[in-house]
Structure 1
Amino acid sequence: MSLFLALFALSGTFLDTVQGTLEMMQFKNFIAQFNKTYASNEEFKHRFLIFQRNMEEAKHLQREERGTAQYGVTKFSDLTDEEFLRCRLDHRAYFESQSFLRQVTEKDAPLKTCDWRKKGVISAAKNQGSCCSCWAFAAVGNIEAQWGIQGTAKNLSVQQLVDCCKSTCGCKGGYPWNAFMTVIKLGGLTGEDKYKYTGKKGTCKNNLKPEATIQDLVILERNETVICSHVSYKGTVTVAINQALLKQYIKGVIDPRPENCHHHKVDHVVLIVGFSRERKYWILKNSWGDNWGEKGFFRLRLGSNACGIAEYPVSAIVNTGTFKRHLCPP
């Protein structure tokens, strides 16, 4: 049954209560915009009530927001917080248990502005779907960008990483350093056209010819100036952030109050592709498709470790054992 037929099949009492309200008009537009379908009238009512609560939360976030971010209707507006945050992993406990992971610094003064998209090395935002594979998309996006900066464009398989990762990973969430170590063990990644994304963990195909390799990985110091320096001259960086505010995010620069986006509760991996030190924001690539945020990207306050962005910055090293210096376009 279509949603609009389901709407008119609801009980008279419910219709009398909600028909013509702003919330119901918003919900109808939401249904049409994101092509939502529900299994029954009860499910429709259930999702409408969740939608109402999410709109109230968006209004609260808007009142609390200190930047230019706008919150409201998104593709996730019919999900509970438990559904939206089901992929959470404890990055801090796992990172600190791995004694071989060491953080390094950068000494070069960063540029004032940087946007690697302007060099044509950042692909369009892809969609991880219901698989908790943000870690894989961010890592593969990093490797693609690093090869692109070296002058060789790549479109690599995320699914190979999802299937072949042996540690905490797959569709249950994962860590970017494990992603890079998996690529090293595999001897590289094949192309997306040869190993397409399915959105679920399958059997590892490790006999395919790699189209890109990496030599090592680097974990940067927990310092935003250091991260800016690395992005300025060496390319993109994967980071783990607290995703709490992204559920309601539409556009603009997120500048959260610490209590709304605690830096110790990072649970989502994204890719830094640029920044503006003058206007104080990071530019980040997400893996929720181009119908979320700013065509799949978003901006976050720079300089206050907003949402934990400086906690776990990691990048692959490609082509040679050391980074070659490249200037990021402003």
Structure 2
Amino acid sequence: MNSVSLRTSLVVACLLATKTLFAQAPAELPQIYKAREVQAPAQLKATLAEQRKLIASRRLTFQVANTGVSTISLDVLAGEKNELSDAERARIKTQVTSARLDPRYSTLLQALQKVCFATKPKYDARVANLVSPVRRQRCGNCWAYSAVGAYESSYIKVNNTASTAIDASEQYAVSCSGGGSCSGGFAYKVMEWLVNQNKRLATEANIPDTGTNGSCPAATPVTDYRAIAWGVVDPSGDINKIASVAQIKAAICKYGPVAASVNVTPLFQNYAGGTFNEMPSNPANPSTNHAILIVGWDDVRKAWLMKNSWGTNWGENGYMWIGYNSNNIGRRAAWIVAKKRTLVLANPSVVAQK
């Protein structure tokens, strides 16, 4: 090898090594987390020190810190139930694979699919103003936040409204849908309840999250928060499977952000930034305990952009970048289509649609 070729090879090797290093090395911890750590309890500081040693030894690509939920039990934060009976899985599969979306909505959704293409290397639904603000759950009702978050995004998309124009009540979903309780539940059951029983959601202003199961009000909410269809992202209709990257991308582009599940751990709880890649997913036998919303992707990171319901003092202002193949992300991925409003309520005491 001549000297020119040798120098070229060395430069290429250095560039590749540098690229790998930056891909693996977490960025510096944001200042807000540095300040918060000063006030952290001694036990949490010790936990974070051990977690950082683990991250360094395994060359993981994310940071941990004293987040807004670091001192809360995971039992409270992670409220998705894990197991479904074979009979329930079969029932869902039969229902979603036989359902057909109203052609008028198929045409509408196709027309609204302006900037999202599954073949694009990067997409962020927030840029398209299709994501409502980050919320903060008050008990193990993440499943309700996941379902309602997906609904809100669809409502914004279908009705071409502002991302701050809707704040639906997760508490109403907890108290009325039969999808679960403060001890856990399933996001898809909220979607099924809205569509199959022709129900509507209340507003957060009228029925805020109390951190309890609550009781279902007798009066029907005076809103236009209704849905006309829901489905499982995986075409097989198996709600327990981890949908593929291609399937999730296509669903996000067609329907908007999708509800999904993930397996959360103490490292996840203390996530402060970077690309979360704690453990490889297990498609053959996936286990999850938390419901979230997938709102975008980045093929360079090889990661999903995930909206959580733990407030803005967790992660990257309430969001996480999580590897496509990490912690069983994408299990139970489901979409919902909001009903297009036909009348603007000038008087909130008037019901727009019967």
Question: For the superposition of Structure 1 and Structure 2, which TM-score range results when normalised by the shorter chain?
Answer: 0.7 to 0.9
- Aligned equivalents of 1:272 and 1:116: distance in 2? 9
TM-score (norm 2): 0.68
Q: What letter corresponds to residue 199 of structure 2 in structure 1?
A: G
Residue 146 (structure 2) pairs with residue 141 (structure 1): no
**Residue matched to 2:231:** 218
Deviation of the 1:284 alpha carbon: 0.6
Q: 2:277 aligns to what?
A: 255
Counterpart position of 1:63: 57
Contact 2:68 2:310 (C-alpha < 8 Å) held by counterparts: no
Aligned match of 1:187: 199
1:199 to 187, 191, 211: 211
Identity %: 23
Change (3 A) 1:271 1:282: same
Shift, 1:176, TM fit = 0.9
3-state SS of paired residue (1:143) = helix
Residues 188 and 212 in structure 1, CA contact (< 8 A), matched pair in contact too:
yes
Q: Aligned to 1:171, which of 182, 200, 220?
A: 182
Q: Deviations over 1:247-269 (max 9, x none)?
A: 12110111233389997221000
In the alignment, does 2:174 pair up with 1:162?
yes
Q: Residue 186 of structure 2 aligns to which amino acid in structure 1?
A: Y
Cα distance per residue 1:140-199 (max 9 Å; x no partner) = 1111100111213422111111111324x1211111111112323362112222222222
| Structure 1 alignment gaps of length 5 or more | 1-25, 34-46, 321-330
CA shift for structure 1 position 315: 1.2
Within 1, Cα distance between the matches of 2:322 and 2:283? 11
Question: Which residue pairs with 2:332 in the alignment?
Answer: 312
- How many residue pairs get aligned? The number is 271
Q: How far off is 1:116 after superposition?
A: 0.8
Is contact 2:37-2:65 (8 Å) kept?
no
Distance 1:316 1:51, change over 3 A: same
Task: Give the counterpart letter for 2:192 in structure 1.
Answer: M
* Pair 1:286 & 2:308 matched: yes
Distance 1:280 1:27 in 2: 27
Residues 204 and 259 of structure 1, relative CA distance in 2, 3 Å threshold: closer
Distance 1:109 1:65, change over 3 A: same
SS at match of 2:291: strand
TM-score by length of 1: 0.73
Q: RMSD across aligned C-alpha pairs, in angstroms?
A: 2.9
Kindly indicate whether the alpha-carbon contact (under 8 Å) linking 1:54 and 1:77 is maintained by their aligned counterparts in 2: no
Q: Secondary structure at the match of 2:166?
A: coil
Does 2:150 match 1:128? no
Q: What does the per-residue CA deviation read over 1:261-307, in whole Å, with 9 as the maximum and x for residues that have no partner?
A: 997221000001111124311101000000110000111112x2x21
2:275–2:301 CA contact under 8 A, matched in 1: no
